[in-house]
């Protein structure tokens, strides 16, 4: 559940299909926090948006008892941020290519 910009989660101690796949990353990358059900990708997306869109420094605090899933949560956040960064890089490269192609066509 969300508590402001905090997500409280519980380690289910089992794999839940589809919970952390590419489709989930895509879904949470298109929504602001609070628009769809709570998820660690929503927190990561909010961090990413604030970092790159508003140029605000970010920090994510992950806390919990031993075995609570802190390491796995960290891996998931890094996986999401890596995917979003790669996507932004690909878009940037396409835009540059499009600009070059446009300049050639206009010549």
**Which amino acids are annotated as binding site for ATP, given as ranges?**
64-71
Sequence ranges of the binding site: 64-71
Question: Per the structure block, which two tokens stand in for 79?
Answer: 């996986």
Q: Is 3 helix (H, G, I), strand (E, B) or coil?
A: strand
């Amino acid at each position: 559940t969300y508590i402001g910009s905090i997500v409280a989660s519980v380690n289910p101690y089992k794999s839940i299909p589809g919970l952390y796949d590419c489709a989930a990353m895509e879904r949470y990358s298109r929504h602001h926090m609070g628009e769809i059900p709570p998820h660690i990708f929503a927190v990561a997306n909010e961090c990413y948006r604030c970092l790159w869109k508003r140029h605000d420094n970010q920090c994510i605090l992950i806390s919990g008892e031993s075995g609570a899933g802190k390491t796995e949560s960290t891996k998931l956040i890094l996986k999401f941020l890596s995917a979003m960064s790669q996507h932004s890089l690909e878009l940037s490269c396409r835009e540059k290519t499009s600009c070059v192609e446009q300049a050639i066509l206009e010549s």
